[in-house]
């Protein structure tokens, strides 16, 4: 699937993508660059981040820990100092949690999930807004999850950390809509990021695991990261100029799907009457 649309919605604009070296973040970075943006990619994986920057002229890389407010503030200050503007931010950095029942989840995993998935998004938005207020506005897109509104067993702490992302964009909309700052969230379903691909490959039965992953979507397949990136680019663009405080499912129909026999056996699902 293509990372580019042939449009130039971001020509002359400066954007930031956290967690931008792989998966959804990488796809968004490439999509924004293909539409004309200068993209600052932030990621803790310096090898992947620098390789991405070396492969795409419009992409720069910085190693920043999004859980550290001083580092995030310095990142934003540096972007505006170098480029004179900050038009769009994709707050995408996040981690997964191990499959555990809520009462069996160690406190440290709660702390880790909230530090990255919740606090990291909060700090990224907070320090971006400081500059956007001075620069006349901007747009923010945050990566949440379908687990913001519905969940599976044994993923409670991850769901808690992602549900706060929806609240964050609503808070920004309530506070800053009249200041020309928009904020929205995307709620991806199962997406074939490198992390998910490794999960499938490492499963006891990779073929069955892929079928199970595909079966979670009404469309009976996982998303390609470029499909999630297309939604993020839309929300960051002026095409979404009257959308703020929203959480957009990009999930292949996951949230519309009640579990049925085909969830465990995709071969039972028939697309034709």
Q: What is the pLDDT of residue 94?
A: 96
Cα angle 107-109-111, degrees, rounded to a multiple of 5: 70
Cα distances (angstroms) measured from residue 94 to each of 90, 120, 133, 144: 12, 8, 26, 9
Measured distance CA(135)–CA(81) in Å, rounded: 12
d(CA 113, CA 119): 9
pLDDT value, residue 2: 46
Angle between helices 194-201 and 206-215 (to 10 degrees): 130
Domain 14-192+222-253: assigned CATH number: 3.40.50.720
**Per-residue confidence of the chain (273 residues) as pLDDT tens digits?**
445 566 899 999 999 999 999 999 999 999 999 999 999 999 999 999 999 999 999 999 999 999 999 999 999 999 999 999 999 999 999 999 999 999 999 999 999 999 999 999 999 999 999 999 999 999 999 999 999 999 889 999 999 999 999 999 999 999 999 999 999 999 999 999 998 899 899 999 999 999 989 989 999 999 999 999 999 999 999 999 999 999 999 999 999 987 765 555 556 555 444
Residue 6 has a pLDDT of 65
- The reported pLDDT for the residue numbered 239 is 98
Residue 262: per-residue pLDDT: 57
- The tokens describing 29, both together, are 């970075």
Catalytic position from the list 61, 152, 158, 176: 158
pLDDT at 258: 78
CA distance 198 to 195: 5
Indicate if 158 belongs to the active site. yes
Give residue limits of the domains in the chain: 14-192+222-253
pLDDT for res 199: 87
Number of CB atoms found within 10 A of residue 256's CB: 10
């Amino acid at each position: 699937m293509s990372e580019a649309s042939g449009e130039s919605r971001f020509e002359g604009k400066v954007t930031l993508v956290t967690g931008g070296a792989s998966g959804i973040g990488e796809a968004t970075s490439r999509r924004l660059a293909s539409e004309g943006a200068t993209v600052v990619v932030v990621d803790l994986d310096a090898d992947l981040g620098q390789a991405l920057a070396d492969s795409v002229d419009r992409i720069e890389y910085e190693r920043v820990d999004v859980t550290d407010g001083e580092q995030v503030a310095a990142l934003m200050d540096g972007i505006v100092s170098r480029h004179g503007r900050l038009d769009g931010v994709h707050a995408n950095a996040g981690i997964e949690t191990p499959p555990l029942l809520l009462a069996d989840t160690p406190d440290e995993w709660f702390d880790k999930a909230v530090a990255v998935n919740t606090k990291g998004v909060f700090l990224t938005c907070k320090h971006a807004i400081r500059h956007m207020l001075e620069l006349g506005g901007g747009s923010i897109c945050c990566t949440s999850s379908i687990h913001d509104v519905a969940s599976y067993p044994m993923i409670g702490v991850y769901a808690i950390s992602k549900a706060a992302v929806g609240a964050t964009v609503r808070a920004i909309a309530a506070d800053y809509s009249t200041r020309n700052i928009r904020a929205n969230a995307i709620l991806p379903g199962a997406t074939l990021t490198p992390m998910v691909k490794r999960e499938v490959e490492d499963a006891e039965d990779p073929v069955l695991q892929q079928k199970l992953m595909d079966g979670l979507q009404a469309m009976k397949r996982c998303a390609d990261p470029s499909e999630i990136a297309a939604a993020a680019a839309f929300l960051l663009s002026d095409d979404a100029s009257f959308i703020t405080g929203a959480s957009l499912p990009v999930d292949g129909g996951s949230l519309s799907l009640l579990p049925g026999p085909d969830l465990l056996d995709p071969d039972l699902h028939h697309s034709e009457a």
